Amino acid sequence: MASSNAIIIGGGHNGLVCAAYLARAGLSVTVLEADHELGGAAKTIEIAPGTKVSGCAHILNQLHPKVVADLQLEEFGLEYAAADMDTVALDSDGKHLVIKGGDAELSGDGITTGDREVWPEFRARLMRFADTLKPILGQTPPRLKSPEGRDSLALAKLGWSVRKLGRDDMREFLRVILINVADLLEDEFEDDRLKGAVALDAVLGTHQGPRSPGSLFSLLYRYAGEALGQQGALALPKGGMGAVTQALAQAAEAEGASIVTGAMVEKILVEDDRVKGVRLATGDELGADCIVSAANPRTTLLGMLGPEHLDTGLVRRLRNIRMQGNAAKLHLALDGVPEFKNLDRLHLDGRLVIAPGIDYVERAFNPSKYGHYSPEPVIELTIPSIADPSLAPAGKHVVSAVVQYAPFELKAGWDEASKAFQEKVIDLIAQYAPHIREQITAAQLLTPADLETKFRLPGGHWHHGELAIDQMLMLRPVPGVAQYATPMPGLYLCSAGSHPGGGVMGAAGMNAAARVIELEGRP
């Protein structure tokens, strides 16, 4: 049986980050990816001849700066087609509001002087709050009851970063940290377009509405991310999200890692109470001193390892991870530039959102609690081919839209309902871009059921497990495996299902690699 120091199960972006760091530390590393292409939920797909789009993740706003710098991703080809994107809160009457990237200034008709004045200060305050979370993203989450100085130090660092806010900010931070984003926005602003757009940011990728407790925390978590050195900024990688993964794969290979695609791991093999390798779906076996799974934690531990190796409490906690996706993805190939009512073409390289008010977003969320999709969903839409013509043939364009809410467990069943939902979403977009239907040459809706089968995201979940306060930090994915190591010696976790969660961030892969080196040592 061929053998490596480390096998990484899954060539999504976290698996590749982990592979690169471990290979750099001198381990012989083999990445095994089940799919024929790398990237997982961060890949570029072709939806019509010559028309390409980011399959799941489409906006880069969280890739950890240390990953970008350490792995020299720009040297390995990572380029940006758009940086510091504006957000346009679309209005069906054409009275759009624009939140400028960078300086975060507001523009558009009908914005009150009060809102204009409060917004920059409000955003800056949230950025300071989000800043307190940053140190914890790039490290193993501390255990609460631990004799180890390392854990106490990490907790102290977290406390210190809150303390550093100063008295007034710290008080405000503690007041708002667990409240819902709707309450805070209602206190501060009048403009429904602005409140809707910010509320959308707080709930993207989650099973939450803006009035769900903890939705402000989700927003802060998002704002803790950065793109091209700017906190809270949004960027588009040139070539789609697959370009990030390609750069990571090249970085890992340059460090000496081997990457094998079309290699589906079926079983993690154990001998003498320690992992000894994996068996592939083909029946081939590969040996390893340690295994790091970049696949979903539940699939890894209950599927590939098997509950017989785990205690019953841990098995129960793993079964109970909330992992019901609520987002779908719509891709449209267009035969020209879409026209949005009263929107200057200059804004089409930004992010367009359909979320015209907090109540609208909350109403969109409500049906999903009962297993129905939103008749009027919220949408985050980009036309990446505007800034990146490589994605579509000359004169043609592609739309990439995240659509919520679309519950994984749909009462009507996605086989039945997918087409009707797709038509509803296109109808909704047509309220803002009236001629878009005539321009569509191909359409693809990826429901949460498709995300599970085509992208191996259990429950179709964006984060491999709901990213909510009870499933974060030292509770992610569940206590007992939250520090990347598992009770099975030699087996580690590193997907978005582990701390600090999903988004194309790479931090789980980076932190897990450090933990493997700490516990297993260098060869």
Q: Which residues bind ligand FAD (CB under 6 A)?
A: 9-15, 32-35, 40-42, 56-59, 62, 205, 264-265, 294-295, 327, 329, 402, 451, 456-457, 462-463, 495-496, 502-504
Looking at beta carbons only, is 158 or 481 nearer to ligand FAD? 481
Task: In angstroms, give the least distance from the CB of 380 to ligand FAD.
Answer: 8
Query: Phi-psi category of 426—alpha, beta or left, where left has phi over 0 and alpha has psi -120 to 50?
Result: alpha
Residues 155 and 143: their CA atoms lie apart, in Å, by 9
Looking at beta carbons only, is 350 or 503 nearer to ligand FAD? 503
Question: What tokens does 339 get?
Answer: 């026209």
Residues 209 and 214: their CA atoms lie apart, in Å, by 10
Q: CB neighbours of 160 closer than 8 A, spacing ≥ 6?
A: none
Task: In angstroms, give the least distance from the CB of 107 to ligand FAD.
Answer: 24
Q: CB neighbours of 507 closer than 8 A, spacing ≥ 6?
A: 64, 67, 137, 138, 499, 500
Task: In angstroms, give the least distance from the CB of 171 to ligand FAD.
Answer: 32
Looking at beta carbons only, is 123 or 456 nearer to ligand FAD? 456
Looking at beta carbons only, is 342 or 453 nearer to ligand FAD? 453
- Tell me which amino acid residue 13 is: H
Task: In angstroms, give the least distance from the CB of 338 to ligand FAD.
Answer: 20
Looking at beta carbons only, is 33 or 362 nearer to ligand FAD? 33
Task: In angstroms, give the least distance from the CB of 280 to ligand FAD.
Answer: 8
Query: What are residue 82's DSSP bridge partners?
Result: 236
Question: What tokens does 188 get?
Answer: 């501060």
Identify the H or E element spanning 425: helix 414-432
Looking at beta carbons only, is 165 or 410 nearer to ligand FAD? 410
Residues 498 and 515: their CA atoms lie apart, in Å, by 13
C-beta separation of 182 from 215 below 8 A: yes
Looking at beta carbons only, is 189 or 377 nearer to ligand FAD? 377
Task: In angstroms, give the least distance from the CB of 342 to ligand FAD.
Answer: 26
Looking at beta carbons only, is 176 or 482 nearer to ligand FAD? 482
Q: CB neighbours of 90 closer than 8 A, spacing ≥ 6?
A: 96, 340, 343, 352, 353, 354, 356, 432
Task: In angstroms, give the least distance from the CB of 75 to ligand FAD.
Answer: 21
Closest-by-Cβ residue to ligand FAD is 12
Of residues 218, 61, 200, 187, the one with CA closest to residue 122: 187
Identify the H or E element spanning 98: strand 97-99
Residues 414 and 131: their CA atoms lie apart, in Å, by 40
**What is the number of other CB atoms lying within 10 angstroms of the CB of residue 313?**
11
Looking at beta carbons only, is 14 or 212 nearer to ligand FAD? 14
Of residues 463, 475, 498, 485, the one with CA closest to residue 292: 485
Residues 462 and 323: their CA atoms lie apart, in Å, by 9
Question: What tokens does 466 get?
Answer: 């709901």
Task: In angstroms, give the least distance from the CB of 113 to ligand FAD.
Answer: 33
Looking at beta carbons only, is 42 or 182 nearer to ligand FAD? 42
Task: In angstroms, give the least distance from the CB of 369 to ligand FAD.
Answer: 20
Task: In angstroms, give the least distance from the CB of 501 to ligand FAD.
Answer: 7
Q: CB neighbours of 365 closer than 8 A, spacing ≥ 6?
A: 203, 208, 209, 210, 212, 374, 404, 405
Query: What are residue 274's DSSP bridge partners?
Result: 271
**What is the number of other CB atoms lying within 10 angstroms of the CB of residue 365?**
24
Question: What tokens does 491 get?
Answer: 């087996």
Looking at beta carbons only, is 209 or 237 nearer to ligand FAD? 237
Looking at beta carbons only, is 47 or 451 nearer to ligand FAD? 451
Task: In angstroms, give the least distance from the CB of 29 to ligand FAD.
Answer: 15
Task: In angstroms, give the least distance from the CB of 489 to ligand FAD.
Answer: 21
Identify the H or E element spanning 181: helix 181-188
Query: Interior CA angle at 391 toward 444 and 17, to 5°?
Result: 90
